[in-house]
A = this chain, B = another copy of it.
C-alpha cells in the first residue's frame, strides 16, 4: 500500500515540492486507480482535510500535469480525469455509468506515433467506449 511518505518521495521525483495538500492528492491518486475527476478527489479528501479548497485541487493537478506526474484523460465529455499511470495503455468508458477502466494488453504498435503526418505528434490516446458488464445486465 502507498503511504504518505511514499507519495512524498514520488512527488520529489518529478521536482514537485511536497506540500501537505499535494502529498494528499498524490497519495489518493496512487491508491485509487479509478481515473478520478477533480470533484471526486476533492470530495474524498475534504472530510479529513476540512480546509482543503477545490481550487487547490485544480492547481495541484495542473502542476502534476506540467511536471509529467500524471496524465490527463480526455475521454469523458463532462470532466477531466487523471491517471498516475503514464505508461502506454488504453481506456474504456462506459456510456451508461460513466466509469473509466484501464485496458492493458493492447499491442504496443497501437501506441506508436505516426510519421510523415505533417505534425509534431507528442502523444496518443486510445479510447474505447461502450457498456460495461455491470450496466449491461441491468
Listed in ascending order, the chain A residues whose CB lies under 8 Å from chain B are 72, 74-77, 80, 90, 92, 94-95, 101, 103, 106-107, 109-110, 113-114, 117-133, 136
Contact = CB atoms under 8 A, between A and B. Distances in A.
B132 A119 contact: yes
How many copies, total? Answer: 2
Main secondary structure of the interface of A (DSSP, over half): strand
Nearest to A104: B117
Nearest to A101: B119
Top 4 A-B pairs ranked by shortest CB distance? Answer: A122-B130, A121-B130, A125-B127, A120-B130
Contacts of A106: 114
A121 B101 CA distance: 12
